[in-house]
Structure 1
Amino acid sequence: MQNVRYSAEISRAKEFIRENYADSAISLHRGAEKVGFSPNHFSTVFSQETGQTFVEYLTVVRIEAAKHLLTCGNSRMSDIAFDV
């Protein structure tokens, strides 16, 4: 069940992930900072709201980006893997 009072924060966190998925320094801690939560609280709320952990969501975003680049671009697979 979603907790509506956190939906704005989780939306901001998801946007942060989509904008920064290629940054190798992206982390749960940075996501928590972005929305003003402690890492533990953010981890719990994020999982409850999305049904995925932060890392699972980040991985899905990276895979979707790679799929898009593979089908719509001329980049080599190794370059795409490095980029995402």
Structure 2
Amino acid sequence: MVEFELERLLNDAKNDENLKAELIKTKSSENPVEDFCTFCQGKGYNITIGELLAAGQDSNDAKLRSVNGGGVNGIDGWDDAYEQFFLTLEWT
């Protein structure tokens, strides 16, 4: 499950400044999401583009369902697991 892998990666990056720097470096590449996933897979984290994009959408959908019909519009940014990962990483 990609959420587990992102959490594991985040915890590892908190304790390894080199890993954190390499992850942040992928953001400035020509294909940041693809390069992020390739880098992660090379380090043993099972994170793919499709699962990464689906995770954000699934999370957003679950939050909307949890309000029993009260949340009719998604909140910008809640559906982007990639951006949420980097926001957390950069603030730790």
Q: Please indicate the TM-score interval, normalised by the length of the shorter structure.
A: 0.3 to 0.5
Greater fraction helix: 1
What TM-score do you get using the length of structure 1 for normalisation?
A: 0.42
What TM-score do you get using the length of structure 2 for normalisation?
A: 0.39
